[in-house]
């Protein structure tokens, strides 16, 4: 599970709207790419300085500016000022432990979504905050800049000119980005699901303390996923509620589709949580069962040998007058008695199903 | 429990509306049957090529096209194009791990329902996705094509011309299909209920680890059933809310009836869940009780024989001056003491209710 | 707890509105009684054939037809046809595992309530379905026909002509029937409460596995009661919501009163559920406590006698040169040592509060 | 915890509005006091016969009639008839296991509240039902008549003529009574809280079965408090919702204040419930810990003495040819070996942190 | 966790609006500071007598009066009378165990917030009640007067004249104070989070009873935080709902921002609660595991040495005719047998994974 509350001590007490980066420090320049298109035209470029983007502000074509890395406050600030973003929005973009949310400002919508990484079977789920600014003719996406993003398929679609994307506006682009992120949740869930199934097999075969920690770990992952997906539902249903003219009616049907996907993800998360609770019960009871079987071994051994040792002890006594000791067949008789006692004990345990 | 999240890796990143089949691969052609009727006429045929269905598009009679198997994307696509279905609908039809839902499009309603199989006592509950397209004069039903369906009684009713079905429109046909599916839930529940009762008897008689896994398995089945039935409630209440002119007023009373049935199913699912929780408590406490009884046996044996063995040990010592050893009745006296100690121990345990 | 889902396999696949009796089979004819009254007149008769009732259809006086036994489909059908009931209503009357519900049809209201039996201390709670049809001038009540009903006080009140009942309409009669049923819930709860208290005393005095099964059984009873009472609340608040002119304003204040009673019943059910959970915790911990005390006995015995037996063993060795063995007071010294060790152990356990 | 469901068997089947006292039987006459005041005048008297009150019905001054003891049906009935109360209201006044509720009748409001007693550290919380009738110029309060009430401060305030109470109407008087009752809840909670803290200390110091029963007892008390306070919230917010002209606008601000208090009480009740759950967990785990420490003692003793006894046993064997027995230093060597084994065991356990 | 219910016995029965201080007694005079500013001017002073503040009542500039210490009733009373506060408000200011709440009075808003202290790793979270009175041109803040407050950054911002604060009205000042308090919650959470992580490491490495009490302690802290933050959400969303002209539209966007922060805090609190529950499960199962491993040691020792001691006992018997005793190699043979039995036992346990 990613860290819950990031270090924000340095921010406490600063006035609202102060731009401070909260999150993992990262070296290097943020990488900015710009794609500009309409139904007829298409251009793509790597942006060296933020100022290159400013001219696209007023172009009627759809402009998508993707910023990877929000650790350089000035970059975010300059872009924000050019596109008229509120200081509180800029502050939230820099603060990477936001909850997914959606805020409608006069001429743009600010959306926070979490991109998840977790298909690598050896690692836990990690989240990267993605902030989207949806304007009438532009989308700006801010990523934290962790390795890779999931937006490549969207880029491909714009480049190829196939599909609806080039024919539709900036709202459809924003939808496409969110849809890609949500689609990726399914991959993460698929991977988690497979790992939980492996854990379940381990639980049945030979449960150890590691199994318990595994169960607990995946439970925490599910809590984490829920925190990411639950508010996203509201975000998407909020976007579809036609509160802003920025979302066109043709896009609403697509938003309903992503909404269904988030519901499906939530559903699966809840089911996994309940399965993990069930696994915990099985683990705990398997511990008790093992204790039971250990105790049975001890009891069988003690129940057989204690009486026998007592008998041997009796005939080890040094009384002067112990007639049995003189008997010719005393010693074999003792062996016989010992055998009879031992075997009848074993039969008794067999009948009690302890063996 | 059927698998939660189906393999959809191949779909990640594709544009929305791309038609990809998600679900179990299946060989062979999809089987299409067509029934066309009104109050006076009736015809039924097995359809070889999808194109045969197209002419029924404009016929005023009620047409029911049933497609078994959605693994051939082209079949679904052609049908969808002819009947004017939205690409997102076609995508959802092909994606067999949808949640039950209902979407109103201008001139048709898209409904996803899950058909359950589980009356076979040796198998777990399995689900098959059924997509219904309800138009003003047609119903198209898409099944995954697992063996058998539960629609035969509806076919029989149409063929026989008895009952209301031939007199009413396509909405009543769609209702009949959903009603048949929900009726089948009761059979599944009945079968599960009987198996849970068997498990309960086993739990009281001789609980084993298998019993625990059984409890857990049925708990998971109940989680699965709830996932299937809970959203169905909303689907049906949505249909009854008169949001679309496709649902006529005469059908609403019937929808209320199916709605009651889904509530009843949910109710039973919840009660079974609580019963299974109670059974888990009983199982866990029976494990503790067994441990208790094992420990009692051990303690009784140890408490009786340890003092006795000590006494035997004492008179096995080789001290030169041990007057008791010389006594004429020393040995029988020891046996007497041993008896007295042993029997008084037994009486003590009897009183403590350990025996 | 009564059975959850009754056998309905025979019904699966039949068209809606098909009349099939679902429930316990019962021999004999259904018993029909009819009471007809207004402020001035009163007549009561045992009805032999259903047709006798038909003439009361149009009479302006209030007619109460009580049918005990719904296993003869024709009786219900004829009555239903005469009083213009919808086929789905008739189907629900025959199906005795309905949830309590209320449905408003144009000129009558259909109400399903559960009558409970459970005051007999040796039996579990049993339910009988009661269907009420409330028309403008009649009430028809259908019972399953189990022994006895709780409606006698209502009959008495009508006969005696005392109280409001003869002055008011059919809605007040329906209210009176529901009120009598709900009043009876208190008796059932009272009886359950007393039995739970007995169980609680048993739990404190000497908890056994039977106590556990008792707790679980009453928990299931409470789940059952909740299933019966919870939807009844909605039924009654629905009746009071003035959606139908059949409920007159003067009756509303009485419905509010029954509503309060159902809330009180629900309240008590919830409290009992929480008490039973607490009892389960106490049971489980008493099992652990017993294990603890068993283990203490074992440990005390072993801790005292193991060292003593070791000492006895030492002086039972056959070494040639063991000076102690030759000592005059060796043997008594050993007894002294044994005493000292034993007593100091006992003091130690006393201090550790194990004794 | 007070009894949940009081004996009401005698009432079952009686027509609604029948006046029957449900609750503890009490000897003696009900005590009636009357206070009549407006801004200028004040009189107080002990009422001998109910009829004395009737003349105050039409007086414009505020009249407060306080009835202690509702076990004499006629007293309640006469008063009810004079002040025009509905039979159902009278029935509810006599039935002392009502839930807190509020009902608006044309010209009066009927309020049921529970007064709590529980500040005595040796007794559990007890409740007394208080019914208030708020009319435009009178308040009638019915108590069950248990020893003492909490209304004295209100009486004092009216007598002294200080504060707002004499200047305001009957609604403010009703508010004052409810406020006093709710204020008293804090005292009960304070007392319970202190007792829970004592229990917590006991739990940490030396948990016994009594501690467990104490936890469970306080849990039940909290369930009881919640049952009393939760519906009271709705009562008070209902009063503040201006649905009746009997509540004047100036009083609303005071009702908001009591409402806040009930929320605070609920809050505290919920927190105590969670704390008690946590205490239960600690208790259960302390039982396990004790078992662990008992087992450790047993294991240490057994692990040390079993090998030693075995060694002693070996040299107690009577073989003819056992060279060690002949050795000069055999016996001391054995003691040495025994010491070494014993001490190394102790070191081993020290390292394993068992000692 | 701070105390839940403070001593309020002295208040019970007093009329509403009576001014009594409820909370920790504190020595010394309350400290009052006053800051008065608008866009152009700024003055700050330490107030000796309350009367100094009165002249600022009518000044159009924004006046912030901060009172540290509410234990002197007269100070609060005088200030309240001058600024026209309702007696109930004054009562609530003096009562320091309020829930966070917001009340709109004609020309001012009364807000209760809790300031938290908890960054010191050795202490638990403590709360201080802060009451804010927001008027059109003034803000009065009452603190309990515990050491230090978190308002210094706000003072600094006003003094420096930077930021928005001097340009905006009293509502922005109130917002700034609340924002600072909420910002501080993150620091408390950060500190708690780190301590919980330490506890988690301890839990994995060597869980003791202290760990359990730690888990329970932090659970209680989380319950406490939730009690503080949950109602604050409603307070802030209430402020943003434009119900009072005192909150200007420009401030609303800032309130939405604080609202998001409280949601984030709640979210983190909930996640911590679930993590602590998971830790409790791990603790409980680690106790069981330790019991298991103790039992295994005992069983291994007993299972090896009991049979061996029995064998030694057999050859310690004093029968006259025991041929083995005479054998030349009897004694070494016994050692061989003992070795074989011991080693095969060890191999058996190895195979059973007990070693």
To the nearest whole Å, the CA of B24 is away from the closest chain C CA by 28
Residue E125 in tokens: 């979270």
* pLDDT confidence of residue A106: 83
Cβ-based contacts under 8 A for chains C and D: 163
Interface test with C, best of D208, D305, D326 (most C CBs within 10 A): D305
d(CA A251, CA C122): 65
Q: Is B143 buried (19+), middle (13-18) or exposed (0-12) by CB count in 10 A?
A: buried
Q: Do D193 and E223 touch (CB under 8 A)?
A: no
Yes or no: say if C112 and C143 are a contact pair by the CB < 8 Å rule.
no
Q: Do E283 and D285 touch (CB under 8 A)?
A: yes
Q: Does E323 touch chain D (CB under 8 A)?
A: no
Q: Is D242 buried (19+), middle (13-18) or exposed (0-12) by CB count in 10 A?
A: exposed
Residue E169 in tokens: 């009205």
* pLDDT confidence of residue B41: 87
* pLDDT confidence of residue B7: 66
Give chain C's mean pLDDT. Answer: 88
Of B17, B301, B327, Cβ closest to residue A303: B301
Whether B1 has a pLDDT exceeding 80, the answer reads no
Contacts of A31 (CB under 8 A, 6+ apart): A46, A67, A68, A69, A145
- Split at pLDDT 50, 70, 90, the class of E240 is confident
* pLDDT confidence of residue D233: 92
Q: Do A190 and B7 touch (CB under 8 A)?
A: yes
Q: State mean pLDDT over E96-122.
A: 86
To the nearest whole Å, the CA of C56 is away from the closest chain D CA by 26
Of B301, B312, B328, Cβ closest to residue A302: B301
Interface test with C, best of D1, D3, D5, D312 (most C CBs within 10 A): D5
* pLDDT confidence of residue E10: 67
* pLDDT confidence of residue D276: 93
How would you write the pLDDT of chain D (355 residues) with one tens digit per residue? 455 566 666 676 788 878 888 887 777 888 999 999 988 889 999 988 888 888 888 888 999 999 998 888 899 999 999 999 999 999 999 988 889 999 998 899 999 999 998 766 666 788 899 999 999 999 999 998 877 778 988 998 898 887 788 888 899 999 999 999 999 898 888 889 889 999 999 998 888 888 999 999 999 899 989 989 999 999 999 998 878 889 998 898 899 999 999 999 999 999 999 999 999 989 988 888 888 888 888 889 888 998 999 998 988 888 888 888 888 888 888 899 999 999 999 999 899 888 7
Q: Do C274 and D223 touch (CB under 8 A)?
A: yes
Q: Do A153 and B13 touch (CB under 8 A)?
A: yes
Q: Which residues of A touch E292 (CB under 8 A)?
A: 287, 290-291, 294
* pLDDT confidence of residue B3: 58
Give chain E's mean pLDDT. Answer: 88
Q: Does D159 touch chain E (CB under 8 A)?
A: no
Cβ-based contacts under 8 A for chains B and C: 162
Which subunits sit against E, judged by 3+ Cβ pairs under 8 A? Answer: A, D
- Split at pLDDT 50, 70, 90, the class of C8 is low
Q: Do D297 and C318 touch (CB under 8 A)?
A: no
User: Comparing E221 with A354, which gets the higher pLDDT?
Assistant: E221
Of A298, A313, A329, Cβ closest to residue E302: A298
- Split at pLDDT 50, 70, 90, the class of B100 is very high
Of B5, B219, B287, Cβ closest to residue A190: B5
Taking CA–CA distances from D308, the nearest residue in chain C reads C310
Percent of chain C surpassing pLDDT 70: 95
Give chain D's mean pLDDT. Answer: 88
**Residue D124 Cα to chain centre, angstroms:** 7
Q: Do B209 and A184 touch (CB under 8 A)?
A: no
Interface test with A, best of E178, E289, E319 (most A CBs within 10 A): E319
Yes or no: say if E282 and A216 are a contact pair by the CB < 8 Å rule.
yes
Q: Does D355 touch chain E (CB under 8 A)?
A: no
Q: Does A341 touch chain E (CB under 8 A)?
A: no
* pLDDT confidence of residue D3: 58
Q: Does C267 touch chain D (CB under 8 A)?
A: yes
D32 bridge partner residues: D47, D67
Of D179, D186, D313, Cβ closest to residue E309: D313
Taking CA–CA distances from A313, the nearest residue in chain B reads B312
Q: C-alpha dihedral over B49, B54, B55, B60, to 10 degrees? A: 130
Give chain A's mean pLDDT. Answer: 88
Give the 3-state DSSP-derived string for chain C, with helices as H, strands as E and coil as C. CCCCCCCCHHHCCCCCCCCCCECCCCCCCCEEEEEEECCCCEEEEEECCCHHHHHHHCCCCEEEEEEECCCCHHHHHHHHHHCCCCHHHHHHHHECCCCCEEEEECCEEEEEEEEEECCCCCCCCEEEEEEEEEECCEEEEEECCCCCCCCHHHHHHHHHCCCCCCCCCHHHHHHHHHHHHHHHHHHHHHHHHHHHHHHHHHHHHCCCHHHHHHHHHHHHHHHHHHHHHHHHHHHHHHHCCCCCCCCCHHHHHHHHHHHHHHHHHHHHHHHHHHHHHHHHHHHHHHHHHHHHHHHHHHHHHHHHHHHHHHHHHHCCCCCCCCHHHHCCCHHHHHHHHHHHHHHHHHHHHHHCCCC
Q: Do C313 and D316 touch (CB under 8 A)?
A: yes
To the nearest whole Å, the CA of C283 is away from the closest chain B CA by 9
Q: Summarize pLDDT for B171-187 with one digit per residue, the tens.
A: 999 999 999 999 989 88
Q: Which residues of D touch E290 (CB under 8 A)?
A: 292
Q: Which residues of E touch D268 (CB under 8 A)?
A: 4-5
**Mutual angle of helices E249-314 and A249-314, in 10-degree steps:** 20
Q: Do A320 and B298 touch (CB under 8 A)?
A: no
Which subunits sit against A, judged by 3+ Cβ pairs under 8 A? Answer: B, E
Q: Does D204 touch chain E (CB under 8 A)?
A: yes
Q: Do C319 and D298 touch (CB under 8 A)?
A: no
Whether E121 has a pLDDT exceeding 70, the answer reads no
CA-closest candidate to residue C209, choices B289, D229, A83 = B289
Of B157, B286, B319, Cβ closest to residue C330: B319
Q: Do A285 and B287 touch (CB under 8 A)?
A: yes
Question: Residues of C numbered 299-318 whose beta carbons fall under 8 angstroms of chain B's beta carbons: which are they?
Answer: 301-302, 305-306, 308-309, 312-313, 315-318
Whether C1 has a pLDDT exceeding 60, the answer reads no
Q: State mean pLDDT over C236-242.
A: 87
**Mutual angle of helices A170-205 and A152-160, in 10-degree steps:** 140
Q: Which residues of E touch A280 (CB under 8 A)?
A: 281
Interface test with E, best of A1, A3, A4, A225 (most E CBs within 10 A): A4
What ipTM was assigned to the predicted interfaces of this complex? Answer: 0.82
Whether B4 has a pLDDT exceeding 70, the answer reads no
Q: Which residues of B touch C232 (CB under 8 A)?
A: none
Q: Does B219 touch chain A (CB under 8 A)?
A: yes
DSSP strand pairing (C42-47 vs C31-37) = antiparallel
Interface test with C, best of B161, B251, B300, B319 (most C CBs within 10 A): B319
Q: Does C271 touch chain B (CB under 8 A)?
A: no
Q: Write out residues in chain A with pLDDT < 50, as ranges.
A: 1
To the nearest whole Å, the CA of A90 is away from the closest chain B CA by 29
- Split at pLDDT 50, 70, 90, the class of E17 is confident
Taking CA–CA distances from E9, the nearest residue in chain D reads D187
Of A263, A298, A319, Cβ closest to residue B315: A319
Q: Which residues of A touch E278 (CB under 8 A)?
A: 216, 219-220
Q: Do B99 and A190 touch (CB under 8 A)?
A: no
d(CA E195, CA E202): 11
């Amino acid at each position: 599970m990613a860290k819950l509350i990031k270090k924000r001590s340095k921010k406490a007490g600063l006035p609202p709207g102060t731009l401070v980066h909260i999150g993992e420090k990262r070296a290097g320049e943020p990488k900015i790419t710009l794609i500009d298109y309409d139904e007829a035209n298409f251009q793509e470029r790597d942006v060296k300085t933020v100022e290159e983007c400013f001219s696209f502000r007023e172009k009627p074509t759809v402009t998508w500016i993707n910023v990877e890395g929000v650790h350089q406050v000035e970059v975010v600030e300059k872009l924000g000022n050019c596109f008229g973003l509120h200081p509180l929005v800029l502050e939230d973009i820099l603060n990477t432990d936001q909850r997914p949310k959606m805020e409608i400002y006069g001429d743009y919508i600010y959306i926070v979504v979490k991109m998840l990484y977790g298909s690598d079977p050896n690692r836990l789920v990690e989240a990267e905050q993605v902030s989207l600014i949806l304007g009438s003719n532009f989308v700006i996406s801010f990523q934290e800049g962790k390795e890779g993003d999931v937006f490549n398929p969207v880029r491909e679609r714009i480049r190829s000119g196939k599909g609806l994307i080039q024919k539709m506006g900036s709202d459809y682009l924003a939808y496409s980005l969110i849809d890609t992120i949500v689609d990726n949740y399914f991959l993460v869930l698929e991977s988690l699901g497979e790992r939980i199934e492996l854990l379940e097999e381990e639980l049945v075969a030979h449960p150890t303390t590691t199994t318990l920690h595994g169960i607990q770990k995946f439970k925490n992952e599910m809590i984490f996923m829920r925190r990411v997906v639950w508010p996203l539902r509201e975000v998407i249903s909020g976007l579809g509620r036609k509160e802003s003219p920025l979302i066109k009616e043709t896009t609403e049907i697509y938003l309903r589709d992503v909404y269904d996907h988030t519901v499906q993800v939530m559903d699966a998360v809840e089911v996994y949580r309940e399965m993990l609770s069930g696994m915990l019960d099985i683990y705990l009871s398997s511990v008790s069962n093992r204790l039971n079987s250990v105790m049975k071994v001890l009891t069988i051994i003690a129940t057989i040998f204690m009486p026998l040792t007592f008998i041997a002890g009796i005939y080890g006594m040094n009384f002067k007058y112990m007639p049995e000791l003189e008997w010719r067949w005393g010693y074999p008789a003792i062996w016989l008695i010992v055998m009879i006692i031992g075997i009848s004990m074993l039969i008794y345990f067999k009948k009690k199903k302890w063996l």
